[in-house]
Amino acid sequence: MKYLMLIITVFLFTNNTFSQNTIIADHVQNFKLDLKKSSQSSLFFSENIALTVDASASFSTIAVFVDAPFSGNLQYQLEGQDWQSLSRYHEANHPTRAIFELLFLPKKNTSIQFKSDQGLPADLSVRWLTLTTTDQIQHNTSSTREDCDCPQPDICGRDCWCPSGNCPTDPTPVATVPSHIIVHHSGSASVSDDFPAVVRSYWDFHVNINGWDDIGYNWLIDGNGIVYEGRGSGTQGAHFSCMNAETTGICMIGNFETATPAPTAISTLEQLIAWEACDKMIVPADSSNHITSGALLAHISGHRDGNDLPNSCSNTVCPGENLYPLLPTIRQNVRDKACLNELVSTTEINQIPFEIFPNPSDGHFQISGDLNQIADLQLFSQTGQKAHFIFNENGILNIKVSGLFILKIIRQNGTAATHKLLVY
C-alpha cells in the first residue's frame, strides 16, 4: 500500500508540474556578516558580497536584520553607487530583531557592502532572494458572494502570484469579522512590474524575516489596479500595529511617501472596499468603536490612524503622505456607490446607542436603548462562525453556550455596531 501511495504522489506531482509549464522556484542565499571597525574611522564595515543573477530572474530583494536590539544607523553601497541609508521596516513589531526595509534590486550583476556607525551586537543577517520571472497570471473575476451587488474586482489568488506553490498559507489561521478596513502602502520602492513576484517577495519577507505566519495583508493592489489575495476575507492579518482583530488590511503596492498612487489603483481600492463593506455590512463613511484598539475609529482608516491608540505597538507614516490625504474622498466615493445604497446612512452612528449588560454574563444579557431601531442581530463565535441565540421583544438576549462572541447590531438606518460578549 505504501508503494501505491508513493506512485500516486509522484504522478500527481508530475502531472501538476506539466500543467503549470516550467515553474522555477525563487532562489535564496543567506549571509552572516561580521562588521569590523575601520582603522581609518569610527565606522564598522562588512565585506563586499558579489550578487550574480541568472537569466530566469525578474529582480531580487535584500532583507537585512540584526538578531538583537540595535539602535545604530546602517548604510549600504551597491557596486558603482553612493552609500545610502537603510531605514527601519515600517510594519516591524518583532520583539527582539531589528529589521530594515526590504531593498529591491534590478536584474543586474552587482555587489553590496554595509557600514554602521555602531558596533553590532550580533552578525548582520542578509537574505538575498532572486525572484523568477512570473509568466502565468490567471485572474479570477467571478463573484461568489450572496446578497451583495458590489462586483468583485479582478483578483490574482495565491496560485496566480505563487505558481510554484512554495508560499503556504497560515497553518493556524485566526478568523475575524472585520468592522474596520485599514489602508497601507508597501513602503519599499519596487523596481519591477512583475507584481506577482513583488507579492512573493513580501510573503518571504513577512514569513522568513518578520516571523509572521503568512503575508501580513489580507489584500494587495498593484499600480495596474490588480488585486492580490493575501490572507483573504475574514482572516486576521498582521498589519495594524498589534490591533489586528476585527480589521482587514489592504496594501497599496508602492512607496506613497514619495510616489503618487495611480488613479486606476485608487479606483480598484474603492471597488475592493465596497465589495468587502457590502459583505461585512461595514458602513463606509462612518466611525465606530474598534474593540481591539479600544478607540473610536473611522471604518476606512489608514495605518497611521492607529498611532498612539491605547493598544498600539508601533508608530508609522503608512500609507504615506500622498495616499493618506485621499482617504476622505475614498470614503465618500465608496459611500456613493449604488451597490451600497441600502447600507449607507448619513446618521451619526452614536446617535442610536445600545448598551448591553451585564457583560460578562451567564448567558442572559439585557440590551437597552430604542429596540425599534434594531433591524437585525448577528452573533459570531471567535472563529467567525455564526452562533445561535434567542432574542425577545423586551431586549433579553440569551446565549446558551459559553465562550467569547461578537454581537453585531444592525440598525434600521443601515448602520451597525459591534459588541464583544463573554458568556461564562
One-character DSSP codes across 45-79: EPPPEEE---TTEEEEEEEEEESS-----EEEEET
What is the nearest approach in angstroms of Zn ion to the Cβ of residue 314?
A: 9
297 with 243: CB under 8 angstroms? no
Shortest CB 304 distance to Zn ion, Å: 8
Q: In the complex, what is the shortest distance from the CB of residue 65 to Zn ion, in angstroms, rounded to a whole number?
A: 18
Nearer to Zn ion, 200 or 303 (CB): 303
Q: What angle do CA 245, 246, 248 make, to 5 degrees?
A: 95
As measured in angstroms, the least distance from the Cβ of 303 to Zn ion is: 3
Indicate the SS3 state at residue 15.
helix
Round to whole Å and give the CA distance between 290 and 213. Answer: 24
Please say which residue, 107 or 303, places its beta carbon nearer to Zn ion. 303
**What Rg do the C-alpha atoms of the chain give, in angstroms?**
24
| Interface positions with Zn ion (CB under 5 A) | 184, 303, 318
Q: Which is nearer to Zn ion, 185 or 335 (CB)?
A: 185
Closest C-alpha among 297, 209, 224, 317 to residue 263: 224
Report H helices in 176-237: 195-204
Closest separation in Å from C-beta 237 to Zn ion: 11
Decide whether 184 or 290 has the Cβ nearer to Zn ion.
Answer: 184
Rounded Cα distance between 41 and 343, Å, is 64
Nearer to Zn ion, 23 or 259 (CB): 259
Beta-carbon contacts of 4 under 8 Å, excluding residues fewer than 6 positions away, are none
SS3 352: coil
Least spacing, CB of residue 239 vs Zn ion, in Å: 6
Closest CB to Zn ion among residues 127, 303 = 303
